[in-house]
A and B are shown apart, each in its own frame.
Chain A
Amino acid sequence: MMTANDAYITGVGQSQIGVKLTRHPLLLTLDAVKEALAEAGLTIGQIDGVSTYPGRMQGYLGFSPVGVDELIDALGIRATWYAGGGEITSQLGAVVAAAAAVRAGLARHVICFRTVYEAAAMARPDEFPPLRRDKVDGSSQWTAPFNALSAANWTAQYAMRHMKRYGLTREQLAQVAITDRAHAALNPRALTREPITMDEYMSARMISTPLCLYDCDRFTDASTVLIVSAASAIDEVSCTPIRIAAMAGTVARHSWDQAEWMASYQTGPDLWKRTDYKPSDVDTVQFYDGFSFYVITWLEALGFCDVGEGGRFIEGGKRIALDGELPLNTFGGQIGAGRLHGFGFAHESVVQLRGKGGARQIPDDPRVAVCTSGGGPLATALLLARD
């Protein structure tokens, strides 16, 4: 399976996960970098690439307070390649870019990071001012003037259509949140460690119908790091490398309201075109769940069930539980563990494939995982394998 041209995820790291943290976001990033380096047995001197999403956002620092340039300078990285930006196929697009770079010989070991500081920023608006615009332009002019102000509103409309067209129910959707929270209870770093019941879910306040409070992630402060390493440099790494077996990120119409469905429905089939693995080979799925409904779309898009069957596929929750046939979001997802913004799903895939999940470890030696990020017109999927 492995070839000289493969890319691997080697070290992974994560800072503490919290809300209203006071630790400097660059230092949270450093915490995650150190953990990843230690796991890989690498030193910062061996790092020659950096990749992030979406890069430092000057007008919206809580969303992305640390840029590549800042990290390179602060840690003394000698980079032969780096990239950071939001115009990519979503959060894990930064990992796709890094994998492409190491495969092209542009770098050997690339730090990929995503640092979020949204809860701290809300608590300290003087230091981290909220996004303010006198007037809206670009794509937001087609939603904000109608007070469709949040991705919750945009996503809810896809979920509503799924309910009307295919019969998705709130009880089925609830299984995402209930499963996430049950798994988060087993993750010492998770933001929310209390499980929820179906009754609590069904009586939660609505955010944007059909999505209630528990269908949404919430602002979090944390940093997640993944080191992507070239096959030619894998001998330098002391941890079990996890091969990036396939990658995909697709969009037909880059819009939240002009496309019939989300980009995931194109990205899923594209992933399987690039590998001999099949959905039945997958031991765990770590699906972006900024909103619970995304999990339904990824299950369908990646062919774990037919389009329209996602709700029935997770009905009752047994199938996606830790000991089920397709364990989902075993770290708690963003709904349980915190809004790590995409990178948490790749991080957890690696943890599970290495057997390092502790209390939340999937039984029976998982070897193949799919992780995803994005929503609406953004979608990235990675197939990860331990050879």
Chain B
Amino acid sequence: MSAPRPQPRLDADNRAFWTGGAVGELRLMRCRDCATFIHPPRPVCRKCFSENVAPEAVTGTGVIDTFTVNHQKWHPALQVPYVIARVAIDGAPGVFLTTNIVGCNVDEVEIGDPVRVTFEQQGEIYYPLFEKIG
């Protein structure tokens, strides 16, 4: 199941996002002054320019905003088909994560489906994938 995935290079901005799964947390950067979520994570709030930003755990649930079933083997090691989705994150208005929907058949995914995060660990990275709720 867990073929090697492209690995993000960790840095000060993204480390919380990519490693939060070690403690079961989906962490998003958030402004402590105006409460805006900042994704992709950056050291400044895009709404109020505050530098008082820090990662914060969200509930880890969301809704499938849109998706596609990829059938193309972009490289020989890729196992197809698989679902790529864009998930709207509950409690973090305006934040969408591109991810994979796992734990169901590829033809069981629909826009609007509620989903919950599940982490796939490879090395120091915890990939936030999502599975359908219920």
What is the 8 Å Cβ interface bit string for chain A, positions 199-226, against chain B (1 contact, 0 not)? 0000001111111000000000000000
Q: Is B70 a contact of A147 with CB atoms below 8 Å?
A: yes
Instruction: Give the residue name and chain of the B residue nearest to A259 (CB).
Output: B96
State the total of A-B contacts with C-beta under 8 angstroms: 105
| Chain B, range 1-47, C-beta contacts under 8 Å to A | 5-9, 11, 14, 39-40
Binds B, one of A58-66, A103-111, A155-163: A155-163
A146 touches B66 (CB 8 A): no
**Do A145 and B71 touch across chains, with their CB atoms under 8 A apart?**
no
Q: Which of A42-50, A73-81, A135-143, A375-383 contacts its partner?
A: A135-143
Establish whether residues A144 and B96, one from each chain, have CB atoms under 8 Å apart when the complex forms. no
Contact size range, A = 35 or more
CA distance A41 to B14 in the complex (A): 54
- Assess the A206–B71 pair: CB atoms within 8 A: yes
- Also in contact, A150 and B72, with CB within 8 A (given A145-B8, A157-B66, A208-B84): yes
Q: Mark B84-107, 1 if CB is under 8 A from A, else 0.
A: 111000000011111110000000
Q: Within the complex, what minimum Cβ distance (angstroms) separates B80 from chain A?
A: 9
Interface centre among B65, B66, B82, B96 (most CB of A within 10 A): B66
Give min CB distance, B122 to chain A, whole Å: 9
Query: Given A147-B100, A157-B68, 20 other A-B contacts at CB below 8 A?
Result: A135-B6, A135-B7, A135-B8, A136-B9, A137-B9, A141-B9, A141-B14, A145-B6, A153-B70, A160-B66, A164-B66, A205-B71, A206-B72, A208-B68, A209-B70, A210-B68, A256-B98, A257-B86, A258-B95, A258-B96
Subset of 5 A-B contacts with CB under 8 Å: A135-B7, A148-B84, A156-B70, A208-B69, A258-B39
| Closest-CB distance, A135 to chain B (whole angstroms) | 4
Cβ-defined contact, A150 with B74, below 8 A: yes
Is the pair A207, B69 in contact by a Cβ cutoff of 8 Å?
A: no
Q: Is the CB of B71 within 8 A of A207?
A: yes
- Check A208 against B71 for contact (C-beta < 8 Å): yes
> For the complex, what is the distance from the CA of A156 to the CA of B14, rounded to whole Å?
26
Which of A136, A148, A158 is packed against the most chain B CB atoms within 10 Å? A148
| A255 CB contacts on chain B under 8 angstroms | 40
Q: Is the CB of B68 within 8 A of A153?
A: yes
Chain B contact residues: over half helix, strand or loop, or mixed?
strand
Least distance between A30 CB and chain B CB atoms (Å): 33
**Docked pose: A257 CA to B62 CA in angstroms:** 15
Q: Which of B84-134 contact A (CB under 8 A)?
A: 84-86, 94-100, 111, 125, 127, 129
Q: Does A149 contact B (CB under 8 A)?
A: yes
Option from B11, B65, B78, B96 in Cβ contact (under 8 Å) with A147: B78
Given contacts A139-B40, A157-B84, A160-B111, contact A145 B7 (CB under 8 A): yes
Shortest CB distance A171–B (Å): 19
Contact B71 A209 (CB under 8 A): yes
- Chain B residue total in the interface (Cβ 8 A): 35
Contact of B111 among A146, A150, A164, A211 (CB under 8 A): A164
A152 CB within 8 Å of chain B: yes
Instruction: State how many angstroms separate the Cβ of A166 from the closest Cβ of chain B.
Output: 12
Chain B, Cβ-Cβ closest to A133: B6
Task: Please indicate the chain B residues that have their CB under 8 angstroms from the CB of A135 in the complex.
Answer: 6-9
Interface residues as binary, A157-186 with B (CB distance below 8 Å gives 1, 0 otherwise): 110110010000000000000000000000
9 closest Cβ contacts across the A-B interface? A156-B68, A135-B9, A141-B8, A161-B66, A144-B6, A157-B66, A209-B69, A206-B71, A149-B74
Structural contact, B9 and A146, CB atoms closer than 8 A: no
User: Once the chains bind, are B67 and A160 in contact (CB under 8 Å)?
Assistant: yes
Query: Which B residues are in CB contact (< 8 Å) with A161?
Result: 65-66, 111
Name A143's closest neighbour in chain B (CB-CB). Answer: B98
A311 → chain B, closest Cβ, in Å?
16
How many angstroms from the CA of A158 to the CA of B95 in the assembled complex? 16
Q: How far is the CB of A251 from chain B (nearest CB, A)?
A: 14
* Residues B111 and A147 in contact, CB atoms below 8 Å apart: no
Nearest chain-B residue to A164 (Cβ)?
A: B111
Contact at B7–A136, with CB atoms within 8 Å?
yes
